Amino acid sequence: MYPKYIGQRIKTARVNLGLSQDNLAQQLGVHRPTISQIESGKRAIDTTELVALSHILKQPLSFFVETDQDAEEQDNPINILYRAEDISENEKPVIDDFLKICKDYIELEEFNDIDKHLPFPFWKKPVRSKREAIEDGERAATSLRRQLELGASPVKDLAAILENHGIKIIYRSLKSSHAWGFSISNKELGHCIFINSSCIRERRLFTLAHELGHIYMDHKHSVTIFSEGNSPGAEIKQAKTSLPEVRANVFAAAFLMPKEKIEKLLENSKFKKNDTSARHIIRYLCHYFGVSYPAMVYRLYNLNYIGNKVRDELLQNPITSSLEYSEPEEIRFPERYFTLALEAYRSMRISVGKLADYLRIDLYDARRIIKELDIQQTRQ
């Protein structure tokens, strides 16, 4: 059964990259039937071929050959984060603290007798083609908006909405990292999203929506990392973006910029297709939805309001929206986390010293917050 297992892993990696058997055969230097035989387990694969496939399919050798607890350890989302190329060795302490905050979050939920893994709706299904990825991303975004009762309104404070559904969102600075953010899901931590606060506000919002898409749509979501390399811009430049990443990009755009709302706004503004003189209208849309200029241009392109030539012309001469690009604090806790910590103190579940530890502040600041909010301890 071992060749069959390796074949299944090869097929999984190939499909995730959006490659056909012909594409893979061409890059490996074999005939297409050979790939079919390998994936079905009818043909064994030698070490040289497996190493070549590892590079082509962008997966470590362990992805193809480990089947027991070692493979589970390799696939552990925390281990995957530590191996990620987009996160430097110097930034791994930030990842350590992010994971510690997520564990603290769970402790605070337990102190307050709250189910640590609140139910969250799921779309989860496999994706088999780029067309399906695009269609599913649009449909899933519409579906989740309906379930969250958002209508077609802008969702500039998406973090607050997701916090109320039990998703842990932490903002930290990774100034030298290529990663805009990442998300992990496992039994211990639930769903957690990290946002690089060094990014501008619009990028932070799109990253949050993108990682939400992975959590909502990816079957057995474990860990995903979002960077410029798998952004919508990379897709347009013919980069080999995996199908789940394509789908998450479509989801983020459709979730933040609903098609029906864009259509109504453009109709009211008398916007004409391929109108390069209407940058002021695009700027207005950016401000209305809280997204970046490139994100809006790509959205209008995908909705067929502009063509390739106009898209490229608009992107070559970008403008900024009127949003303030203020940066959050070095550590920005979710309001729900902050409230749970204060409630745990109020109900005498934790001391003021422990409160300071949870909030990553000193005792003086912890006492100042308690005084300002007039929190009186009462044993529950």
Dump pLDDT digits (tens) for 315-329: 887 776 544 444 544
pLDDT in tens, 299-349: 999 999 999 888 888 888 777 654 444 454 456 778 889 999 999 999 999
**Residue 266 belongs to some domain of the structure:** yes
Listed in sequence order, the residues at least 6 apart from 115 whose beta carbon sits closer than 8 Å to its beta carbon are 109
148 and 161 both lie in a single domain: yes
* Final residue in a domain of this structure, among 75, 100, 121: 75
pLDDT at 258 over 50: yes
CA within 13 Å, CB half, 372 = 7
3-state secondary structure of 103: helix
Chain CA centroid to CA 309, Å: 29
Q: Give the DSSP H or E segment for 358.
A: helix 352-359
**Residue 139 belongs to some domain of the structure:** yes
What are the helix (H) ranges across 119-258? Answer: 130-147, 158-163, 201-217, 232-236, 243-256
238 and 91 both lie in a single domain: yes
Candidates 10, 92, 81, 71; CA nearest to 43 is: 10
**Residue 377 belongs to some domain of the structure:** no
pLDDT in tens, 126-141: 788 889 999 999 999 9
pLDDT at 67 over 60: no
Q: What is the pLDDT of residue 324?
A: 45
Q: What is the pLDDT of residue 77?
A: 64
**Residue 327 belongs to some domain of the structure:** yes
**Residue 126 belongs to some domain of the structure:** yes
pLDDT at 117 over 80: no
**Residue 108 belongs to some domain of the structure:** yes
Q: What is the pLDDT of residue 326?
A: 47
* Final residue in a domain of this structure, among 25, 48, 75: 75
240 and 265 both lie in a single domain: yes
Q: Which amino acid makes up residue 97?
A: D
84 and 68 both lie in a single domain: no
88 and 70 both lie in a single domain: no
52 and 101 both lie in a single domain: no
6 and 129 both lie in a single domain: no
The CATH number for 293's domain is 1.10.10.2910
Q: What is the pLDDT of residue 253?
A: 96
Average pLDDT score over the chain? 84
68 and 82 both lie in a single domain: no
> Read out DSSP for 242-292?
-HHHHHHHHHHHHHHS-HHHHHHHHHHTT--TT-TT-HHHHHHHHHHHT--
pLDDT at 1 over 50: no
**Residue 379 belongs to some domain of the structure:** no
When pLDDT is averaged across residues 36-65 and rounded to a whole number, the result is 84
149 and 288 both lie in a single domain: yes
* Final residue in a domain of this structure, among 44, 75, 106: 75
* Domain assignment of residue 29, given as a range: 2-75
pLDDT category, 165, cuts 50, 70, 90? confident
Selected residue with higher pLDDT from 310 and 65: 310
Q: What angle do CA 54, 55, 57 make, to 5 degrees?
A: 65
163 and 301 both lie in a single domain: yes
Q: What is the pLDDT of residue 71?
A: 46
Number of domains in the chain: 3
The CATH number for 8's domain is 1.10.260.40
When pLDDT is averaged across residues 164-185 and rounded to a whole number, the result is 87
60 and 81 both lie in a single domain: no
60 and 121 both lie in a single domain: no
pLDDT at 257 over 90: yes
75-89 burial, b at 16+ Cβ within 10 Å, e below that, comes to eebeebbeebebbee
**Residue 325 belongs to some domain of the structure:** yes
Q: What is the pLDDT of residue 74?
A: 46
For the full predicted model, state whether its pTM sits above 0.95. no
Beta bridge partners of 224: 183
- Calculate the alpha carbon distances from 108 to 114, 117, 120, 224, 361 in Å: 9, 12, 19, 26, 16
Q: What is the pLDDT of residue 240?
A: 66
Under 8 Å between Cβ of 253 and 302? yes
Residue written as tokens 């030298």? 176
